[in-house]
Amino acid sequence: MQQSDETPQLVLAECQPHVWPARRLAWPLLLVTTLSCATAADSPPVDHCKGSCQMYSRCTYDNGVCKATEASCHQAREGNSNSDCWFWGLCHPVDGACRATSDADCQQSDFCAAGGRCQLDGGHCVATEATCAKLARCQAFPGCAFYAGICNTPKGPGEDCAFDCKYFGMCSVMPAGASNPQLFYCAPTSDADCQQSTGCASFGRCHLVAGDCQPLTDADCATSSGCEYDANCRLKNGRCVPGTNEDCAQSNWPCKQHGLCRFVDGACQK
């Protein structure tokens, strides 16, 4: 019997079924090659989403990207007894991340019970005059009200703003009103108040915006420790967040600790 001189053609990259002549030696090679290609295409790398799951509740591998699911938004992160939903009101997956999608998400959260952040605004839970008025802590302290972006409890005689100033830029004494002449609020009243605070150094909250210290430029974010540590180097929708591969690659916690060194789908990922 004359043996064929035709050589089988292997197309590894596309993982297509192969056509080969009846030749015994070629069969095992082609079979193994076909199966290996299918396995590589269909299965995620081992522990690929472990770091994303621990940091962002993005626990499910989907076409090369780690994404949040309804279940991961409600489950406690490793090393933390709190879920994103219970603590921050971020209860549902939106574009691969856990987000608040209704006032109800916010209202069941610890953020609401402890800080009055009970109303939905841009996928996050925030405080307002109405939510502060319902807060148990405010009802127990006369004069507690929405001030400088939070449910602000007024200070009394003998108190000062040293702590609030150091950490939050709330350095100036503001009277609570004629009905409570002995009470006052601590609040930021200038960029200088914000810029000397830990909030500026750590989170880029260096400018006075609508009565509160907030990041106003990419530079605020890029010069904060949150950029070096968490890759939160770019300003987006009033918050410092990761925005480029460079942000992720230089970061301590996502990249150096968890191997999440590429910016993909709005977050640092493998």
Tell me the pLDDT tens digit for each residue of 228-257: 999 999 999 888 999 999 999 999 988 998
Mean pLDDT of 70-87: 82
Evaluate if residue 5 carries a pLDDT over 90.
Answer: no
User: Would you place residue 29 in the very low, low, confident or very high pLDDT band (cuts 50, 70, 90)?
Assistant: very low
Residues 6+ apart with CB under 8 A from 139: none
Question: Are 249 and 255 within 8 A, CB to CB?
Answer: yes
Q: How far is Cα of residue 93 from the mean position of the Cα atoms in its chain?
A: 12
Mean pLDDT of 172-181: 73
- Average pLDDT score over the chain: 80
The identity of residue 69, as a single letter, is: T
What DSSP state is assigned to residue 253? Answer: I
Evaluate if residue 13 carries a pLDDT over 50.
Answer: no
User: Would you place residue 203 in the very low, low, confident or very high pLDDT band (cuts 50, 70, 90)?
Assistant: very high
Evaluate if residue 259 carries a pLDDT over 80.
Answer: yes
User: Would you place residue 81 in the very low, low, confident or very high pLDDT band (cuts 50, 70, 90)?
Assistant: low
Could you tell me which residue, 234 or 4, shows the higher pLDDT? 234
CA distances from 166 to 142, 187, 188, 225, 249 (A): 25, 12, 11, 16, 31
Mean pLDDT of 97-118: 91
Residue 178 confidence (pLDDT):
65
Residue 27 confidence (pLDDT):
37
Could you tell me which residue, 205 or 39, shows the higher pLDDT? 205
Beta strands in the chain (DSSP E): 60-62, 65-67, 92-94, 97-99, 117-121, 124-127, 145-147, 150-152, 172-175, 184-187, 207-209, 212-214, 234-236, 239-241, 262-264, 267-269
Residue 173 confidence (pLDDT):
83
Could you tell me which residue, 20 or 57, shows the higher pLDDT? 57
Instruction: State percent of the chain over pLDDT 70.
Output: 79
Give pTM, 2 decimals: 0.65
Residue 21 confidence (pLDDT):
43
Residue 201 confidence (pLDDT):
94
Residue 6 confidence (pLDDT):
46
Picking from 34-43, 45-54, 66-75, 169-178, which range would have the lowest pLDDT averaged per residue? Answer: 34-43
User: Would you place residue 55 in the very low, low, confident or very high pLDDT band (cuts 50, 70, 90)?
Assistant: confident
User: Would you place residue 258 in the very low, low, confident or very high pLDDT band (cuts 50, 70, 90)?
Assistant: confident
Evaluate if residue 33 carries a pLDDT over 70.
Answer: no
Evaluate if residue 70 carries a pLDDT over 70.
Answer: yes
CA distances from 14 to 18, 21, 33, 62 (A): 11, 20, 12, 19
Residue 11 confidence (pLDDT):
39
Mean pLDDT of 92-119: 90
